[in-house]
Amino acid sequence: MEQAKIVVHDHYDAEASKIGMWLFIFTELLLFGVLFVIYSVYRYINHEAFHLAAEELDTFVGAVNTVILLVSSMTIAMSTTSLQKKNKTITLALTGITLILGIVFLVNKYFEWGAKFDHGIFPGSEYLTENLSQGEILFFGLYFIMTGLHALHIIIGLVLIAVVMWKVYTGKVHAERAALLENSGLYWHLVDIIWIFLFPLFYLIH
């Protein structure tokens, strides 16, 4: 403690950063939490329609994306270990794998949404309003909002990881200053947790 006082201009506090990140994660959890409440109420009211509409979603694509996110979560968790072990190359490789997996997730999402759009299924489309019931329209509305908001979080997470990789590369993030990598990891795991619930609720109701 005595020695820490010498570096007066060094405003680094890993624990405070972590608390800040967790507080932010709580707001995110409640943001998605409210959407899950809306989903469950509408599903309760429109039971049959939700089952019918969910048939449109491809479980296989959803499962592939789940596996991608779980693996990417592991690689970024591992990168905190390699950073503490002072192995820069492995840290960059692991965060790089996370980055690539995140991009693959988005590419899958792009084709998945693209296929829906081709079938005329998108918010406010003529096909939706003329052919489907109110419950099915609600299902697809929630599907696009929730997976869309999730995809937005993936994009933000990818930007964060890219910044962290640059800072690891230039040596600004290292074993004694790991907070940025650890907090980006926390954010990425949050995105993973949200998908863990989105997947069964949208893809696995048959």
Query: Ramachandran region of residue 120, left (φ > 0), alpha (ψ -120 to 50) or beta?
Result: left
Query: Applying CB under 8 A, does 127 fall inside the site for another protein?
Result: no
Residue 41 has which token pair? 């109420």
What's the closest the beta carbon of residue 15 comes to another protein, in angstroms? Answer: 8
Task: Please choose, out of 26-34, 103-111, 123-131, 154-162, the segment that lies near another protein by the rule CB under 8 A.
Answer: 26-34
Sign (positive or negative) of CA dihedral 69, 72, 76, 78: positive
How many residues lie near another protein (CB under 8 A)?
49
Residues ≥6 apart with Cβ < 8 Å to 47? none
Q: Which of 31, 67, 115, 155 binds another protein (CB under 8 A)?
A: 67
Site string for another protein, 83-122 (x = CB under 8 A): -xx-------------------------------------
105-109-115 Cα angle (round to 5): 150
Collapsing DSSP to helix, strand or coil, 132 comes out as coil
Q: Using CA atoms, how far apart are residues 80 and 96, in angstroms rounded to an integer? A: 13
Both tokens assigned to 206:
């048959």
By the criterion CB under 8 A, which residues form the site for another protein?
1, 4, 12-15, 18-19, 22, 26, 29-30, 33-34, 36-37, 40-41, 44-45, 59, 63, 66-67, 70-71, 73-74, 77-78, 80-81, 84-85, 178, 182, 185-186, 189, 192-193, 196-197, 199-201, 204-206
